A and B are shown apart, each in its own frame.
Chain A
């Protein structure tokens, strides 16, 4: 596989469930990102990882817990979510420095519905 992949593509969960979203990049990049895309809103940056280290947490509630075991994999662990957390969750990756590697490449997203 090439590019950035995300699983699952669709997820429906109750407010008491625990689930995880997975992102994998096959581009040799060192930075990975989680975004939330809600209807009628701009994309919201949630977390940034550089070389497996979290470099940004954009005031995200603790019910969202990221994990980056290596530069190719990124997880978003979900627990006790609220209905307003229903959204499309996008993962992206970016190469290290340099003008030619400043572009973020996105996965297809996970459509999350919280009941």
Chain B
């Protein structure tokens, strides 16, 4: 079975600082995708960043980057220069060959001024 675990229910960070959200997963598939989605209080689920498992290079999207450790099945999200608008729930998700997503329980991030 495929699983996604986010061990940090809540985190906080000062504005302009850097924060890292953790995610571990388990899958028996050799080709899969990993995602971080953001869900602000407005509830719209927004894609933050995506990583294809076959790519060794870590994905980067502006202030967001991942540390993808395939052997360890770890996929953490680093947010640099945190902004107030980054306050949201962050979900790690695993996508397999069937196209469906398995989500973690989420990490509530609060960015403090």
Inter-chain contact count A-B, CB under 8 Å? 47
Whether A43 contacts B91 in the complex (CB less than 8 A), given A106-B44, A106-B45, A109-B43, comes out as: yes
What residues of chain A lie closer than 8 Å to B42, measured between beta carbons? 108
In this complex, the interface size class of chain B, counting residues with CB under 8 Å from chain A, is 20 to 34
Which of B20-28, B64-72, B75-83, B100-108 sits within the interface?
Answer: B100-108
What residues of chain A lie closer than 8 Å to B37, measured between beta carbons? 106
What residues of chain B lie closer than 8 Å to A50, measured between beta carbons? 99
Q: Is the interface of A mostly helix, strand, loop or mixed?
A: strand
What residues of chain B lie closer than 8 Å to A21, measured between beta carbons? none
Other-chain contact of B33, A88, A102, A108, A111 (Cβ < 8 Å): A102
Total number of A residues with any Cβ neighbor in B under 8 Å: 24
Whether A103 contacts B99 in the complex (CB less than 8 A), given A42-B104, A108-B43, comes out as: no
> Does the CB pair B43–A88 fall under 8 Å?
yes
Q: How far is the CB of A59 from chain B (nearest CB, A)?
A: 14
A40 and B9 CA atoms in complex are apart in Å by 10
What residues of chain A lie closer than 8 Å to B101, measured between beta carbons? 43, 45, 104
Q: How far is the CB of B65 from chain A (nearest CB, A)?
A: 18
B86 within 8 A of A: no
When each residue 71-99 of chain B gets 1 if its CB lies under 8 Å from chain A and 0 otherwise, what string results?
A: 00000000000000000000100010011
What residues of chain B lie closer than 8 Å to A45, measured between beta carbons? 100-101
What residues of chain A lie closer than 8 Å to B43, measured between beta carbons? 88, 108-109, 111
Given contacts A43-B91, A103-B35, A103-B47, 11 further A-B contacts (CB under 8 A): A42-B105, A45-B100, A45-B101, A56-B98, A88-B43, A92-B45, A103-B50, A106-B37, A106-B45, A108-B42, A109-B44
What 8 pairs across the A-B complex have the smallest Cβ distances? A106-B45, A43-B103, A42-B103, A108-B44, A42-B105, A109-B43, A102-B33, A103-B47
Chain A interfacial positions (CB closer than 8 Å to B): 31, 33, 40-43, 45, 48, 50, 56, 88, 90, 92, 94, 99, 102-109, 111
